[in-house]
Amino acid sequence: MRSPTPALDPALDAAILLRRIGFATLLVAVPITALVARRAAVVLVPIGIILMVLAALMDGANGGFNRSLRRAFVSPAGLAALLLIGWAALSIAWAPQANTAFDKLLNALGAAAMAFAGIAALPERMRASNLYLTGIGAAAASIFAILVALGLLGRDTIDPGSLERGLITLAILLWPAIGWLVSRGHGLVALALGAVAGLAVVIGGSLIPLLALAAGATMFLLTSWRPLVGRDVLRVAIAAVILAAPLLPFLLRPLAKALMGTASPAVQSIRVWADIVRSDPLRLITGHGLDASLRGRLVGVVPREAPLSLPFEIWYDLGIVGATTLAVLLYFAIRAAGGMTASLVPAAIATFTVAFVVATSGMATSQAWWLTLIGIAVIAFLAIERGQFRTTRPKARLFGRLGKP
């Protein structure tokens, strides 16, 4: 008598398909389309998140989210994040343009809400077939970027700013892919993927993605060799840069003048930074209010030569309270990343490194595309962490038991 076949579950099959499409939207479609479209991440990410949420509602595979969320918010990094959001909201009261500052806060909260929705939709165990999409997306984006940079796909019709943002997206999302491949024992494939992505960034000709990717690769190698050393070096360095930001222009200006000359844009930017600190030191306590640095630049209150960097903007907008809470947030977030599965730690540290280099290199990292990109990276790493439940694959023995009862 034949054993009965298992009952089909159309809802479960539909949920698996929706989750795969949603994850592919985040990790394949976004890095490719970001190379040619300004708002690719802003448009595609909500679609991917909605599909993943629908899948979770259909199969109920997500579990323990409320417990994980509570644990995250009572952690040092979570408490610092709440304090930073609260102080940013309070600073709108003395911001020069409260309406634009409020819009900026809403954008940040919206990006955070989408990231939390994506995390909530992740199943307790993520299928390996979904996680290999991280590598497929990074590889496809690298090849596409090379074709665009070589002019084979009409580089003249593509906005250079979109290409640079696409290369930054690739530099961020490359590391979850490498982390997954390394965790599966595919070290050579991870090395080949990194080489292709590096070639794409080099041919792309943008300095910021190149510097960020080089810094990320350096920290990946250091953390692979000495995990605790790499983690501690990065978190101390980031906290020190943020907290010492008001002193940096006075320390760096003589060296910059000697190396680049007084007419260099970088030297002029450092000079403006020093003048702002010197002219109103009391404002270092409260800051000028959320979004003050950007809006002040547009109306002429802040010189256009002023730095477009995270350390400058956090001090100018939110003062010592905002800078301190951000430093604490990143310090403990990096420490928490060191507690992931050992094979993922170097990739997580490399991602933090790339993100911080980009944030300090002049990109407008308060824009929606950047905040959304960080959310994708977080979702990818948490999904990969939940895909580590099987570390070895059973071997098939074709002839081992032949002739045995």
Task: Work out how many domains the chain is built from and give that number.
Answer: 1
**pLDDT exceeds cutoff 90 at 381:** yes
Band the pLDDT of 146: cuts 50, 70, 90. Answer: very high
Helix, strand, coil percentages for the chain (3-state, nearest 5): 75, 0, 25
Band the pLDDT of 154: cuts 50, 70, 90. Answer: low
Pick from 327, 37, 375: which is nearest to 173 by CA?
375
How far apart, in whole angstroms, are the C-alpha atoms of residue 282 and residue 280? 6
What is the per-residue DSSP string for 42-93? HHHHHHHHHHHHHHHHHH----SHHHHHHHHHTSHHHHHHHHHHHHHHHHGG
**pLDDT exceeds cutoff 80 at 173:** yes
Q: What is the mean pLDDT of residues 50-70?
A: 76
Answer whether residue 268 is part of any domain: no
| The residue to which tokens 């906005």 are assigned | 159
Higher pLDDT, 21 or 259: 21
Q: What is the pLDDT of residue 185?
A: 92
How far apart, in whole angstroms, are the C-alpha atoms of residue 77 and residue 232? 16
Answer whether residue 281 is part of any domain: no
| The residue to which tokens 């702002």 are assigned | 276
Answer whether residue 71 is part of any domain: yes
| The residue to which tokens 């997580």 are assigned | 348
What letter does residue 17 receive in the DSSP assignment?
H
How far apart, in whole angstroms, are the C-alpha atoms of residue 277 and residue 77? 28
Percent of the chain with pLDDT strictly greater than 70: 88
> Could you list the residue range(s) of the whole structural domain that residue 18 is in?
14-245+308-385
Residue 379 CB contacts under 8 Å (≥ 6 apart), including other chains: 26, 115, 118, 119, 122
Q: What is the pLDDT of residue 65?
A: 59
Answer whether residue 291 is part of any domain: no
Distances (CA, A) of 232 to 81, 355, 402: 20, 17, 54
Band the pLDDT of 393: cuts 50, 70, 90. Answer: very low
> How much is the pTM?
0.90
Q: State the alpha helices, DSSP H only, in 226-337.
A: 227-243, 248-260, 265-279, 283-286, 292-299, 310-337
Find out whether 119 and 53 touch, Cβ atoms under 8 Å: no
Q: What is the mean pLDDT of residues 336-365?
A: 89
Q: Which of 21-35, 108-122, 140-154 has the highest mean pLDDT?
A: 21-35
Q: What is the mean pLDDT of residues 266-289?
A: 88
Distances (CA, A) of 138 to 33, 185, 190, 220, 271: 12, 18, 11, 17, 39
Q: What is the pLDDT of residue 221?
A: 96
**pLDDT exceeds cutoff 90 at 401:** no
Distances (CA, A) of 167 to 23, 35, 162, 200, 361: 20, 7, 9, 8, 14
Answer whether residue 41 is part of any domain: yes
Q: What is the CA 59 to chain-centroid distance, rounded?
A: 29
Q: What is the pLDDT of residue 402?
A: 38
Q: What is the pLDDT of residue 15?
A: 86
Find out whether 166 and 35 touch, Cβ atoms under 8 Å: yes
Pick from 25, 34, 42: which is nearest to 367 by CA?
42
Answer whether residue 263 is part of any domain: no
Neighbours of 51 (CB within 10 A): 22
Provide the token pair at 365.
Answer: 């990292």
How far apart, in whole angstroms, are the C-alpha atoms of residue 266 and residue 271? 9
Q: Chain-wide mean pLDDT for the chain?
A: 86
Answer whether residue 143 is part of any domain: yes
Question: Is 29 strand, coil or helix?
Answer: helix
Answer whether residue 405 is part of any domain: no
Kindly tell me the sign of the dihedral angle through the C-alpha atoms of 302, 307, 313, 315.
Answer: negative
How far apart, in whole angstroms, are the C-alpha atoms of residue 350 and residue 324? 23
